[in-house]
């Protein structure tokens, strides 16, 4: 239903790894009182790798080797802290700043739609109009604020608390700390067909596996992975796009992986520095037939950092359309899936 920016994981270019340890340790405390914060969530953004602080505010978390993912430290009542290169220090000292209670923003434009109407569209765009999306449930729906701005035909969503999603289709409970969510419509209407220009959402995501090893859920995850953005970007990193059944086209002709991007100097064993060789590509994947996706590079001169998990930075420069743009929270897998 329109194109979507790949914003679900906050990334940064990796400068190095800490080879002296297999885990990251740290201490989380109140920035004013210096008292330890108990039960703070510590996790890699977009992953199922996480922990919480103990009674002394301490934590230990494995190093997610070869990943660009940011380490997130979060606790209710405090501003979320993001640490792009957490392995650069032997022991992290994380001071959380108390969250100032804010009043609801003053709305300057009339909202012509009911909450029920807006929530229906929000759920479809946030969770996805797919089997995974339709079988996912937002457990704290009442905490979400929705507003349609008639000045620019934009539906915005916000929440003071992480959005909790129960995804029984893929066997995950997902916590999404929303930072920005907007649906840009072409007209003052909530119709989705031929009316959504694009959807933008940003935030940090933590996955909890609740599958209990069920075979049917494992099979669903494999189907969700096949032909996904994660699958495509991992195949780019491995250099096996053809073997993974991806077909590439540019200006109405088939191209090879070598015509898609170039690996630049500065790449290491686990990270690739790449530059795409064009502005727009068409991607097909044979998954019960051919599914058409598009990849648009906002600035072809951009150098990207790509890791083995499929994270590509700067993520705002990549815009996916077509089949891959239909993937939302209901079809999303953690970045450590299968690795």
Enumerate residues 6+ apart whose C-beta is below 8 A from 133.
123, 124, 127, 328, 329, 330, 331
Enumerate residues 6+ apart whose C-beta is below 8 A from 198.
2, 3, 4, 5, 184, 319
* Location of structure tokens 């289709």: 169
DSSP state of 101: P
**12, pLDDT greater than 50:** no
Torsion of CA 182, 186, 188, 194, to 10 degrees: -100
> What's the confidence (pLDDT) of residue 316?
83
Distance CA 34, CA 95 (A): 8
Distance CA 5, CA 11 (A): 14
SS3 content of the chain, % helix, strand, coil (to 5): 15, 40, 45
Over range 218-238, report the average pLDDT.
95
- pLDDT tens figures, 240-266: 999 999 999 998 899 999 999 999 987
Return the exposure string of 311-323: e unless at least 16 CB atoms fall within 10 Å of the residue's CB, then b: bbbebebbbbbeb
- Higher-pLDDT residue of 7 and 87 is 87
Distance CA 41, CA 51 (A): 6
- pLDDT tens figures, 164-174: 999 999 999 99
pTM, full prediction: 0.85
> What's the confidence (pLDDT) of residue 186?
95
> What's the confidence (pLDDT) of residue 11?
30
Over range 4-30, report the average pLDDT.
56
Over range 287-308, report the average pLDDT.
88
**21, pLDDT greater than 80:** no
């Amino acid at each position: 239903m329109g194109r979507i920016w790949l914003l679900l994981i906050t990334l940064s270019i990796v400068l190095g790894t800490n080879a002296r340890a297999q885990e990251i340790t740290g201490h989380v405390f109140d920035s004013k009182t210096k008292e330890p914060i108990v039960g703070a969530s510590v996790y890699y953004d977009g992953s199922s790798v996480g922990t919480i602080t103990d009674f002394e505010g301490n934590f230990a978390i494995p190093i997610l080797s070869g990943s660009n993912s940011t380490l997130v430290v979060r606790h209710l009542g405090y501003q979320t802290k993001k640490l792009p290169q957490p392995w650069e220090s032997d022991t992290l000292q994380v001071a959380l700043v108390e969250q100032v209670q804010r009043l609801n923003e003053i709305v300057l434009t009339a909202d012509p739609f009911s909450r029920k109407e807006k929530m229906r569209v929000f759920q479809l765009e946030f969770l996805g109009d797919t089997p995974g999306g339709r079988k996912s449930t937002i457990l704290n729906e009442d905490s979400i604020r929705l507003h349609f701005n008639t000045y620019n035909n934009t539906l915005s969503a916000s929440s003071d608390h992480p959005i909790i999603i129960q995804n029984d289709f893929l066997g995950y409970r997902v916590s999404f700390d929303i930072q920005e969510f907007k649906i840009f419509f072409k007209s003052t209407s909530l119709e989705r067909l031929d009316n959504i220009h694009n959807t933008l959402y940003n935030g940090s995501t933590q996955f909890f596996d609740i599958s209990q090893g069920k075979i049917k859920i494992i099979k669903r995850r494999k189907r969700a992975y096949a032909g996904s953005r994660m699958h495509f970007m991992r195949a780019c990193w491995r250099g096996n796009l053809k073997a993974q059944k991806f077909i590439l086209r540019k200006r109405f002709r088939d191209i090879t992986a070598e015509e898609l991007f170039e690996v630049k100097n500065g790449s290491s064993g686990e990270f690739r520095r790449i530059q795409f060789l064009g502005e727009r590509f068409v991607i097909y994947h044979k998954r019960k037939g051919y599914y058409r996706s598009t990849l648009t590079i906002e600035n072809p001169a951009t150098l990207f950092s790509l890791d083995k998990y499929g994270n590509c930075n700067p993520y705002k420069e990549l815009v996916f359309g077509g089949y891959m743009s239909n993937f939302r929270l209901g079809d999303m897998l953690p970045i450590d899936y299968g690795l």
